[in-house]
Amino acid sequence: MAAPFEKYLTETDVGSRFALPISWLTVLPPIEQGSHEVHFQVTDGFGYFWEFCCSIRRVGRYRKPVLQSEGWLKFVNFKGLKAGDKIVLDSEANDFRGTQIRIRAQKLNKGCDQWLDA
């Protein structure tokens, strides 16, 4: 399993699209030559399936990957996410299904100062 990637959500992340750190592209399915986006499915921490579209800029050195609003905002709204909450992305190789990607939404439980899956 790859080391998990973590990101604290910003206002832009919860309001329109999720700006991915460029290093996360190593976990996502590859974007085909000549394309600027890839559609893929993930499971959350509770086993629900979600479909996202990751796109990158067509021009310029910095590709700036983002999860587009349609699938991403469904996830945000379902989970009740706010700026400051955390997303954890990881993957696991599976001999029968290929690489499986998991995205976990986490909220801080201030009573015990611990991150819990939402």
Q: How many domains, the chain?
A: 1
| Listed residue (67, 7, 73) closest to 38, CA to CA | 67
Please tell me the predicted confidence (pLDDT) of residue 27: 80
State mean pLDDT over 65-69: 89
Range of the domain at 34: 5-117
State residue 24 phi and psi, 5-degree precision. Answer: -70, -20
Please tell me the predicted confidence (pLDDT) of residue 46: 92
Using one digit for the tens of pLDDT, what is the confidence trace for 69-92? 889 999 999 999 999 999 998 887
Please tell me the predicted confidence (pLDDT) of residue 39: 92
Using one digit for the tens of pLDDT, what is the confidence trace for 27-64? 888 788 878 899 999 999 898 999 999 998 777 676 78
Identify the burial level of 63 via C-beta atoms within 10 angstroms of its C-beta, where 0-12 means exposed, 13-18 middle and 19 or more buried.
middle
Residue with more model confidence, 2 or 15? 15
CATH at residue 23: 2.40.330.10
Please tell me the predicted confidence (pLDDT) of residue 2: 56
